[in-house]
Amino acid sequence: MNRTAFAVTAFALIFLSACSADSGNEQAAQPAASASAQAQTTAPCKGLPEFVLKADDATISTCTQGNGIGGKISGTVIYVSWQAGDVLLQGQKDLAHRMGLKDGISAAGAYSATGDHERTVMMLVEPASGGTQVTINWGLKP
């Protein structure tokens, strides 16, 4: 496994371990977008932090959040967008910088940032049915 893939995997495991399984997560699921994506409704996704990029054309399939270790709130949102993956990654990077976060991992298909260990975000993108599937893990210590 190359260094980037290892780093992304390690970061994801550490990030997700902060979530508590019995924390009252809100979750909804829909099938992945297809050619008829406009006809689909998206899963509800309330309370995303302002440093998390949700594409305007997002068809959300999963949106969860809950209380983690040390009072941290964390969550995951998965959606499909018709925008290119590199455009979405750059959008998340620009948003993170505007919100005062510093770069973590920046690789093909992945980007992460942190702000004083109080705010974290990681975006992974991959091709999906003519669009891009986006997975975002985030954390916030209020």
Q: What is the value of pTM for the model shown?
A: 0.72
H helices, E strands: number in the chain: 2, 6
**How do the pLDDT tens digits run along the chain, 142 residues long?**
444 443 444 444 334 444 333 333 333 333 333 333 333 445 678 889 999 999 999 999 999 999 988 889 999 999 999 999 999 999 999 999 999 999 999 999 999 999 988 999 999 999 998 899 999 999 999 8
The residue type at 31 = P
- The gap from C-alpha 75 to its chain's centroid, in whole angstroms, comes to 8
Please report the domains of the chain, with CATH numbers, ordered by start residue.
3-140 (3.30.310)
